[in-house]
Amino acid sequence: MKKSILKLTAIFGFTAVLLNSCGPKDNPPLVYFPDMYFPVAYDPLMKAEDAYSKHENEIPAFVKADGATGLYPVDGSVAQNKDGVIEENSAKKMTPDEYNAGYDASKAITASPLNTANAEKDLARGKVLFDRTCAACHGTAGDGQGSIVASGAYAGVPKYADRQITVGSVHYVLTHGRNAMGSFAGQLTPGDRWRVAMYVMNAFKGGVATSAVAPATTAATTAAAPAAKTDSTATKK
């Protein structure tokens, strides 16, 4: 009798565990590793919330960025930079006056900081990158008649030949964007942005100087000139 009771108890206990383990997974009785059971995906552009409590995430770095989890590189950190080009944080938010001042100052930069010995290779790579990332709007001939414009989906892209630009101002717009054109800092490295700018000047503006310039000159251009009025024309690069 005693053995029968033990057997029945064991059977019922095993059955309860089995049924419980096969129950609804939206409310498990015990979770040893909740981060693995309930994966939390953060959108870097959205406000973060603590996944396991009702209060908002109070991590200081997130609070400083209004809750966004996409953070800027730590000051003083060294990023991979094979080209040795030093520039300010391209993700820095600027006021319109700061942006315009930086754009005006960038026009004074007429030489790329890249190694002059690699100018031929840099121009060749610049052409490849331009054809991949810019030609859809600006056109392979730099006439503002790329495939997107030709389709009628977008208009107002100027010809490079009609613009008063320098290699510095093209690089600045690639980095920070301008009017309807967004920044390409996320798609192109600092060195590659200079290569595209060099190609634009070489192919559509009659050439560009390739002598190196001081890193300080190519870096913080946003504070080098007085505030200027916003260019109201729909321009790109």
**Does residue 212 carry a pLDDT above 80?**
no
3-state secondary structure of 222: coil
Q: How far apart are CA 194 and CA 87, in angstroms?
A: 12
Q: What is the pLDDT of residue 185?
A: 86
> What torsion do the CA atoms of 72, 76, 81, 86 make, to the nearest 10 degrees?
90
Pair of tokens at residue 234: 């729909």
Q: What is the pLDDT of residue 217?
A: 38
Q: How far apart are CA 181 and CA 107, in angstroms?
A: 18
State the pLDDT confidence band at 223, using cuts at 50, 70 and 90.
very low
Q: Phi first, then psi: give them for residue 199, nearest 5 degrees.
A: -65, -40
State the pLDDT confidence band at 15, using cuts at 50, 70 and 90.
confident
Q: How far apart are CA 162 and CA 154, in angstroms?
A: 19
Q: What is the pLDDT of residue 214?
A: 38
The torsion region of residue 220 among left (phi > 0), alpha (psi -120 to 50) and beta comes to beta
Helical pair 96-106 and 167-176, crossing angle rounded to 10 deg: 150
Least confident of 46-50, 55-59, 187-191, 208-212: 208-212
Q: What is the pLDDT of residue 114?
A: 92
Least confident of 104-118, 147-161, 219-233: 219-233
State the pLDDT confidence band at 5, using cuts at 50, 70 and 90.
confident
Q: What is the pLDDT of residue 120?
A: 93
**Does residue 216 carry a pLDDT above 70?**
no
**What domains lie within the chain, and their CATH numbers?**
30-71 (no CATH), 96-219 (1.10.760.10)
Q: Please, which residues have CB within 8 angstroms of residue 177's CB and are 6 or more apart in sequence?
A: 183, 184
Least confident of 28-42, 88-102, 219-233: 219-233
Contact 110, 99 (CB under 8 A): no
